Structure 1
């Protein structure tokens, strides 16, 4: 299969329903726009409804807006209930929204902001919507991670909320590692159903608002280097779009840019860090996440603890 995968490769999406979080700007906007242009009915799940409506007005096709604040589990539950009242099926759930390098803050539920938004909010949303996906052949949960999952990244079970000390870079890495571990464990649980799959993607380095909290010491060098090491959001969205729509995609795969160090380029199948495939850690994180969110999934584990899951086969 060609490595120059673009939006022209997206199959006809007519009759499919997609929910995209954080879709009013950046990668989420480009993802939602491309799906709508190919015929999908797209829901922009956004914190700022006004911005979401302005984004929807710039898109062609069937696009609606839903209020969703991932920093509040009450908002996640309200949004899920609203979707359940509107829809009888979901073909694509794209967990795209996120924050990066925020100062030490907590969500409304007391979680560290990056972990609470990037991982726990999406974990809860997926669990509350999954029964709208399980009966739908070809449905997919796509969660957006980052190359940051490799940087000082571990799941700090002894201090998940960074209450003893705080590193915004390490906390971001933990949240993005959690996105991958969630995807791999979710896929293991979905495998027995044979309809829905879980896939991950990352955008490389894209010029979006996500970097607005970059520490001052890094901001100036990054600004100077930006033309050389970043790509526009439309390119950064391609790995997510491929993970969501390419018929050859398998559950448990991970897509990112095909260029050097996965920074830029057209999307291809990539491999995440060795730590991300540790099944025992995935399962422990899952149990902790269910406890923290009080959301139980309608799927059960099928692989004994202690084994290391191997990445899915590469697309040729």
Structure 2
């Protein structure tokens, strides 16, 4: 039988923070967790959009819903957001690193990083680093990092991480998604070695209909890309279906740290959540370790992957 959110345990008493929770996969993840009793922090770049999402979710929410204005492309905003969670809750059970940008023209974050690497990867590294101490010692605490099938085409260009010499928007996106799963695996290895109570997992949605596709087309002003998406549209599943792998990683009792979940049909493009293969580069311990060290240097913050 396929797994659905109805199979997940009750989430009452748990506090979850979801980045990019105002639309797409993040909104559906928030909807599901809130309906199962979790207190959900909607971490959104735009407070207005976050409040609109909160208003949409409130009727079916079984517990609290809070909006946190947090911009992953601004490390100061990330640190301020983590401080807000510490001050207002003092604990956290679930962190879903979900937000992302996909294939825009080359732009920079506020801290000068290439936007996709800076937002999709480095922003989440910094957020995880700041929030892990609030998760240590919590029962079944989990960090779920959302990647995509683009990881399989990715390469970590250590000699040009910020695409300063050459920028290909899809190569940069694939690099950021490979970095996501590599970070999730390295985090789990370090947490386990330290005897931490926190688990790190990864998930990808397959082909899910979200605002990323139209935003990518608009940013590139590409008629050809728009046509390609229209032709592929029958292959896409809903955002609610696309969110199931990350919900499985976040809540299923049988999900384990270091595992990676995605759809079970059509080579991982759609279907019900199952354990799926990991990009070979993310399985290379040298690549993971080097990425970890470089990422800590870039964000100026060590990831405390150890029990206190």
TM-score, scaled relative to structure 1: 0.92
> Could you say which residue in structure 2 is the equivalent of 1:213?
216
> Could you say which residue in structure 2 is the equivalent of 1:44?
42
Which residues in structure 2 correspond to 1:3-82 (within 5 Å)? 4-59=2-57, 60-61=61-62, 62-82=64-84
- Tell me if structure 1 keeps the 8 A contact 2:196–2:305: no
- Tell me if structure 2 keeps the 8 A contact 1:134–1:193: no
Distance in 2 (alpha carbons) for counterparts of 1:94 and 1:168: 25
> Could you say which residue in structure 2 is the equivalent of 1:112?
114
Alignment partner of 2:242 out of 222, 236, 239: 236
> Could you say which residue in structure 2 is the equivalent of 1:103?
105
1:293 aligned onto 2:292: no
1:75-128 CA-to-partner distances (Å, cap 9, x unmatched) read 001101111101121110000000000111010101000000000000000000
Distance in 2 (alpha carbons) for counterparts of 1:44 and 1:132: 17
1:223 aligned onto 2:252: no
> Could you say which residue in structure 2 is the equivalent of 1:140?
142
SS in structure 1 at match of 2:158: coil
- Which aligned segments of 4 or more residues in structure 1 are displaced greater than 2 angstroms? none
Deviation at 1:54, TM superposition (A): 1.1
Deviation at 1:194, TM superposition (A): 4.1
1:175 aligned onto 2:176: yes
Distance in 1 (alpha carbons) for counterparts of 2:109 and 2:132: 24
Distance in 2 (alpha carbons) for counterparts of 1:299 and 1:48: 30
Alignment partner of 1:86 out of 61, 85, 88: 88
Greater helix share, 1 or 2? 2
SS in structure 1 at match of 2:17: strand
> Could you say which residue in structure 1 is the equivalent of 2:268?
262
- Tell me if structure 2 keeps the 8 A contact 1:24–1:51: yes
1:253 aligned onto 2:251: no
Distance in 1 (alpha carbons) for counterparts of 2:99 and 2:201: 16
1:244-288 CA-to-partner distances (Å, cap 9, x unmatched) read 000001100000001111111011011111111001110100000
- Tell me if structure 2 keeps the 8 A contact 1:183–1:198: yes
The number of residue pairs the alignment matches comes to 297
CA RMSD of aligned residues (A): 1.2
Gaps of 5+ in 1: 301-316
1:206-261 CA-to-partner distances (Å, cap 9, x unmatched) read 111111214522220221220x2100100000000000000001100000001111
- Tell me if structure 2 keeps the 8 A contact 1:183–1:252: yes
> Could you say which residue in structure 2 is the equivalent of 1:158?
159
- Tell me if structure 2 keeps the 8 A contact 1:23–1:45: yes
